[in-house]
Amino acid sequence: MRLELADYPVKQIRLGRTFRYQDGMLEVDGPALEEMILRDGRIAEASLAVVRPGDKVRITGIRDLVEPRVKVSGNGQVFPGILGPVEAVGDGRTHRLSGMTVLATAAYEGTVRAGLGVQRSALLDMCGPGAAASKFGALAHLVLIMKLRDGLSELDAHTAIQAAEFQVARRVAETTIGVEPGGVEIYDLSVRRPELPNVVLIQGCLTDDHHVHSGVSYYGLPIRESLSTVVHPNELLDCAMAVNATRGIGYFPITWDWQNHPLVLGLYRDHGRRLNFLGMILQRIRYETFHGKEVIAQNAAQLAVTLGAEGALVAWLGSGNAFVDVMLTVRACERRGIDTVLVTYEYGGKDGVDSPLLFYVPEANAVVSTGSRDRWLELPEMERLVGPYERVQILSYPGAPVAEAKGQLTLDARDMVIGSVDNWGKEAWLCNAY
């Protein structure tokens, strides 16, 4: 597959009465977008706002972020299986609006009140330490502010939010059709150099089979009990991967992360120069038994061998016992003669003295740290709120105290700030040396 990704940088977003992209200015018809969102009867209220880097604004109720994209040639369309039929994507030409996101916020009280399946939302500051802590603090955002009807199930809430944000993202990206792009990147794995090492990316996906949405979907189908699956990295660039739109959590990648997966883009940059990028293996992690963890580790390693991999990057998402699956995968690859590098964030506690990783194997002798998710974060008071909530619950358990959303907030971890945990190496944070 050969994909052309045409880039249209956005320097400014303006709400108006028309749709137009010109010289970095994106103008969108606000009333038309609101009308489109409200066609879904599950959404009671909808409005739009624009926020920019440096604004003294805190956004609340964040569920997901997506980069606007639209297919102009090739099979299928963006967000296949969600906005249209399931048809293979990853070839032809796709346009992207870079430097911005469509940011979905929603007021919604789920039916699940506790546990891993409880719905959650995040926040984002556009200035100060909160903006510096998140990769999204430097982007402009077209914010969708929605209120869902009472009594919706988690699945109905998810599909309503996701349909709204994806429809808006595709519609605003259509402003680029017929406009000359700022640049075009070509993504093609068909040519390999035999003298270079063959490398595969094994991407662990924290999922489960006992909630209405597993957390990660492929062509709109949540990944549940499944063995590892080979996918072409171009499918990610064409928006074949998506997330649960009711759970905005700092350490969970959102749709924007899958569209801009830094390891995929990095391996593509080195393809044909330092290595041959073979493709990507999606691995379902967080099996409930050790037997299941062993099986999925061996299965992923066997797929890598079958593809002819000599090296592998192993990445993951999530928390808790899923990390056991990840370490066992590193061990299984190494024992098959595949040089393996683990890419992971650390724990470490607020002072950085606790154990940085939850589980170890001796074979994990090459690890890239993307930083700690446990460090405290002090957020100063903001001048303005954008989003559905004026008060926020810092912790997710029932009866947890609430705080004024606009005021000063003390966070004992980065989970509540969207984009503040670096899963796959997008950020360029530095360590202190002692």
Gap between the Cα atoms of 233 and 201, Å rounded: 9
CA atoms within 13 A on the CB side of 77: 14
**Over the chain, what is the mean pLDDT?**
93
Residues listed for the chain:
434
The dihedral built from the CA positions of residue 327, 330, 335 and 341, taken in this order, carries a sign that is: negative
pLDDT tens digits, 97-114: 999 999 999 999 888 766
pLDDT tens digits, 320-354: 889 999 999 999 999 999 999 999 999 888 777 88
**pTM attached to this predicted model:** 0.96
Q: Mean pLDDT check: name the lowest of 33-42, 86-95, 385-394.
A: 385-394
91 close to 1: Cβ distance less than 8 angstroms: yes
**pLDDT at 209 exceeding the cut of 80:** no
User: Quick count: other Cβ atoms within 10 Å of Cβ 424?
Assistant: 26
Element (H, E) at 267: helix 262-270
pLDDT tens digits, 223-238: 988 899 999 999 999 9
